[in-house]
Amino acid sequence: MNISKTLITKDEITEKVKAIAARINDDYRGRELYVIGILNGSFIFMADLIRELDVDIKVEFMGVSSYEDGTESTGKLRITKDIKLNLNSADVLIVEDIIDSGVTAARLVEMLKSRNLHSVKVCALLNKQSRRVNDFTADYIGFEIEDEFVVGYGLDCAGKFRQMKDICVVELD
């Protein structure tokens, strides 16, 4: 596998994170926000995002999967790490690295809503609308991208490239 091109630079990411955070600050001013990062890909984006927030937050992480061992979603949500916080009547922001088919995100929102939340919204750094198999739309989106395999800034390919500062396209051999 080879990096074929830089899709989004570190500087572009930094500016977009600040813009998203400004919207979130406006939307949640005066309220406490539970920010839940979806592991593993969201951790770098989430760390940068929460440093730009000036609202009261609590942070938690979840591990979820709908892919089992394959590359296509099974449509079933499997929780690999659940949250420990009591979310009763809470405002929740789910932070994702990328929304692809929309299956995992839609199922996760549905599952969290069953926990008696005040509100739940989704923030994704990247959105691949062309791959969507449902009508799911994130509330906060950083960048719309084409159907390319991307790595960097937390996104990986077989565990590699997460540490890259830019988001790059990978050519799979």
Domain harbouring 128, CATH code: 3.40.50.2020
Q: Is residue 77 part of a domain?
A: yes
In tens, the pLDDT along 2-15 reads 888 999 999 999 99
Q: Using alpha carbons, select from 25, 72, 62, 20 the residue that is nearest to residue 41.
A: 62
In tens, the pLDDT along 79-123 reads 889 888 888 899 999 999 999 989 889 989 998 998 889 999 999
Q: Is residue 31 part of a domain?
A: yes
Q: Is residue 152 part of a domain?
A: no
Q: Is residue 157 part of a domain?
A: no
The C-alpha atoms of residue 111 and residue 7 are separated, in whole angstroms, by 33
Q: Is residue 46 part of a domain?
A: yes
Which residues, other chains included, contact 25 with Cβ-Cβ below 8 Å and sequence gap of 6+?
A: 52, 53, 54, 55
Q: Is residue 164 part of a domain?
A: no
Confidence of residue 69 (pLDDT cuts 50, 70, 90): very low
Marked catalytic residue, from 48, 97, 100, 166: 100
Domain extent, residue 141, equals 10-146
| Annotated catalytic residue 100 | yes
Q: Is residue 17 part of a domain?
A: yes
Q: Is residue 162 part of a domain?
A: no
Number of domains forming the structure of the chain: 1
pTM: 0.91
